[in-house]
Structure 1
Amino acid sequence: MATGVVEVSETSMDWTFNPAALGFRPRDTKNGSMPTAIVTGGARGLGRVYCVALAGDGFDVVVADVLDTTGAVDEITAGGGRAVGCRTDISSRADTEAMAAAAAEAFGTIDVLINNAAYYSQITRSPFNEVSLQDWDRAFEVNVRGAWLTCCAVYPYMKKQGSGKIINISSTTCFKGTVGFPHYVVSKTALIGLTRCLAEELGPDGITVNTVTPDLIPNPMLRPSDAASDQFVVTGRSIKRTQVPEDMVGTILYLAGRGSDFVTGQNIVVNGGAFYQ
């Protein structure tokens, strides 16, 4: 064997799974605290589904939204979980900093941030050259600046802990080039770039940053449903059915949990096989 080369065989390796060795945080620590997750846009839709799922998995949850968070908080507490609501405009630095401070005050730590809030339902489909400056700017204020500001707000807490999980929610429109929503598509594409930049910069602090990209999930609360378009999307998938919010839960819980500690800078597409990466 050449000098300096270490020979490793299967018999010399320990294949035993040891959660303690990986630093898995127990569900009930000595002071009774639980891992804490902040979900922006958590009052309704996908965000509310994430909040309830995280609570069911043992997280304390901060429901951050410009809308009334009472319903989501009540649903979690009725199920035996712990949650607080925080009115937050993520395009405001003051609001995002107050959100992070409220989370730390309520639960002690900030372990997970899910950047789910988005400017979408208010957008009117239009040709690219007819998008108003106000609409274009608002898409970037919320979808890009908002995600950046929330990351800035939670970073000091995660850095001090030496760990944290940031999950940005993008959209498969990034890969399809969906016509009529150029500002939304470009802003959601920018989130993937933000994820990669932060993954590189925050890795030494023990913080992982990933993107989750869902396909079309019909939600009449946000936009009127188009049966023909919805069926066209289903036909193009390997799994021939409508995507539902619960399809996102497994990926979210994986990235929020300690089993994904060595996963960062990635974009995980959840689309039923509409296309492959």
Structure 2
Amino acid sequence: MAEFYSEFPSLVIFIWIGGVLISFSMGSFYSTLAYRVVRFYYGKERKIGSKLFRLRKILIEPSSCESCGNKITGLVIFPVFGYWFSKKECSNCKVPINPLYSLCEAVFGLLFVVAFLLSGKLLGTFAFLALCGHLLVSASTDFQKFSLDYENLPFILLFGALTNYLFFDATPGKADLIVYVCFSAVFFLIYFLFPNAMGFADAVFAPAFALLCGHPWWIFFLNSSYGIAIIVTVLKRKKGESLRRVPIPMGVYFSIGLALTFLARLVSNSGLLPEWTNFIL
């Protein structure tokens, strides 16, 4: 990689700039997709038209204001910076634009920089961004409706497996399948014994995510997911409020944990960690 950088500096700059711009666009697409999936499959508009009609609305309808429906055109549609070009509001109805869209687009750009810097693999980085996009959709539906969309799981498995192959030359092995079977057995046992403690979708998604993480990284996935969930839940609770029976959108934290696990594996492979961590990872 270092020799390539020195031999073709102009091409490398083009790849970096182009990659960041494409990642911004992917962030824009997936953040809009997450909003539309909730709107057309979980909101009041889920009963409008046929499934094909709603699918077309989700995938190919031009970007528009969530308040008045005015089409977004010109510089305003440009990812990340469009939020500032629009002066943070719709030009038609003057309703403030949600800054989370611009933030999400910027995060995708950051993920590209980190993943490509650590791996040096362009296709693997884009596969990872696609995986993060579908994780965003699942996290969004679970956060807003406490529901994980099963239709999205095949895409997560597809891009997760592709990321594993392109980043780590890894395909599911015997140990990974054992992890999946054990995870499924434990999570479904908990679900049937304590149905109020875990949703059915969590018992489906968590083992699939553990399979993508592989052995022994499923340990990192599990600890990061539940660790972040506990910290956020404790910080969000009101003073004196009991944590018992507080609904937790674990799909959000499973998604974050899976993305963090892939990044941690990249860091481990890059040799940036000190030698004393080798026995842990």
Common fold: TM-score over 0.5 = no
Q: TM-score, normalised by structure 2?
A: 0.27
TM-score, length of structure 1 as denominator length: 0.27
- Which structure features the higher share of strand residues? 1
**Larger helix percent:** 2
